[in-house]
Amino acid sequence: MRTPRTELNLTEWVVLALAAEGPTHGWAVARLVGRGGPLAEAWSSSRPLVYRAIDRLMAEGLLRSAGRSEGRGPDREVFEIAPAGAAALQAWLRAPVDHVRDLRTAFLVKLLLLERRGDDPGPLVASQRERFAPIAARLAVQAADAAGSDRIVATWRALNADAAMRFLDALDGR
């Protein structure tokens, strides 16, 4: 028997964020996150994953139905963010990512979503710098102390962490 997930995945967070912009439907969200959409330079998702995310967010009470839209095509179910979803989204958008590898996806997506909302990314960038500074320092020491084949991986990790810090510095205007 599978245990239920408690954490949302990136597609679910993005769907929630786009729903926070106003009532919408799955097709519109899928266009925004699909190839060629405004988020595609940093990250994209497929239409089936978007619809799966909508179903889960509705089941979790983070989205709610807002009726149906009529148009040229078939009627579409419209949804909007629920108060619990708005609170969860606000916390997620402000939380730094835990791993350097997540800077390329989740962190960039958060920056783009904050920009779409007109929110200041400064607090997120500052907390991300604070989270990564000790990690980058530790990885630099490990790379300097490593030998043999361990040095290859340690150097890769240290240089990636250094690049992440330089990226955060550039965002912060340092």
DSSP track, the chain:
-PPPP-S--HHHHHHHHHHHTS-EEHHHHHHHHSTTSTTTTT----HHHHHHHHHHHHHTTSEEEEEEE-SSSS-EEEEEE-HHHHHHHHHHHHSPPSSGGGGTTHHHHHHHHHHHHT---HHHHHHHHHHHHHHHHHHHHHHHH--THHHHHHHHHHHHHHHHHHHHHHHHT-
Tell me the pLDDT tens digit for each residue of 145-156: 999 999 999 999
Question: Which domains, from first to last, does the chain contain?
Answer: 10-94 (1.10.10.10), 96-174 (no CATH)
Average pLDDT over residues 49-61: 96
- Bigger pLDDT: 120 vs 2: 120
Confidence band, pLDDT 50/70/90 cuts, at residue 3? very low
Q: Buried b / exposed e across 138-164, counting CB within 10 Å, b at 16+?
A: ebbebbeebeeeeeeebbebbebbbeb
Q: Is the pLDDT confidence value at 76 over 90?
A: no
Confidence band, pLDDT 50/70/90 cuts, at residue 2? very low
Among 19, 42, 40, 43, smallest CA distance to 29 is for: 19
Task: Identify any residues that bridge with 38 across adjacent strands, giving them in sequence order.
Answer: none
Answer whether 0.75 is exceeded by the pTM.
Answer: yes
* Cα(57)–Cα(144) distance, integer angstroms: 46
Q: What is the pLDDT of residue 73?
A: 55
- CA torsion 7-14-118-99 (nearest 10°) is 50
| Residue owning tokens 């530790």 | 138
